[in-house]
Amino acid sequence: MNTETGSLVERRTRAVKARAQALGFDACGVAQAGEIDPEDRLGAWLAQGHNADMGWLACTKELRQDPRALLPGARSVVVVASNYYAARPATERPGGRVSRYAWGRDYHRVLRKPLRDLTDFVIGLEDGAQAHQSIDTGPIAECAWASRAGVGWIGKNALLIRQDAGSWVFLGVILTTVALVPDTPAANRCGTCRRCIDACPTGAIIAPGVVDARRCIAYHTIENRKAIPEDLQPLFGDWVFGCDVCQEVCPWNSNARETSFRDFHPRPGHASLDLEGLDAIDETTFKKRFAGSPIRRATLSGMQRNACIVARNLEASAP
């Protein structure tokens, strides 16, 4: 790369990051497109059945390992992060706990437009440029790319952690044929800490950075459409949708600050759900009650199943 070309690439990179900041993203990093999993860790994880019934992960394995298979000619991967942390409402009634990411509006809807605007900006940098964007809806290894792009590191709970904000972040990814200056990959700062591993209620974190979905509360309460193994149910405690235990115990989350996105602040009654109310509503009421919320992903039947488990757990733990 000659000096003139290098200067152009550097200017474009600065412009992309400035645009990301202007759009409200909390961080933006760049990585060079290429193989992200040369050791085939995903293949080993899948071979052990750790993906449970999430068969789409196996079907898209090659695409996840090299984004150039998804966008031929891809040269850069732009990763943005958005903080979604909000304090738990003090006025919430006791009930079934909901993972913090689902307290507000569905992040896919919130971030779609600003990520689209940033994608259009990237495409506009070069004639004939192409780009593909994703907010964990496509076959892209978001956390791996975020780590390589210097946005954060992958913690022992397999989530991305930022030194200045912890792990309460949503990620967006843009693959592009535009050449940009890559950032230095983030250093892993977990050290010898294993609080997330030790605190996991079901022992789902079987090794640093390795989660077995078959034991994960978040998987079972959101993705699993079948019966939940009876031996796991008492370990769910009061988690009715998702689980934040491994994040709540992480020391880096002491740095968490309030999100600037109003849509991520908790909707009334969404941080702790009325279990009896869930059991009593019909499909139409469920869809209206949780319109625009990630909670709808679990379906009414799934949430009613979860509510029954939590109700039994609360009754069993009552003095």
Q: Which active-site residues does the annotation give?
A: 136
For residue 98, the cross-strand partners are 241
Residue 183: which H helix or E strand, with range? none
Strands 96-98 and 239-241: parallel
CB proximity list for 205: less than 8 A, separation 6 or greater: 156, 157, 158, 196, 197, 211, 246
Token pair listed for 153? 């590191």
- Side-chain half-sphere CA neighbours of 219 within 13 A: 19
Q: Which residue has the tokens 């994040």?
A: 247
Chain centroid offset of residue 232 CA: 23
CA distances from 136 to 55, 108, 133, 186, 271 (A): 16, 8, 10, 20, 23
Nearest to 101 by CA among 167, 156, 164, 195: 167
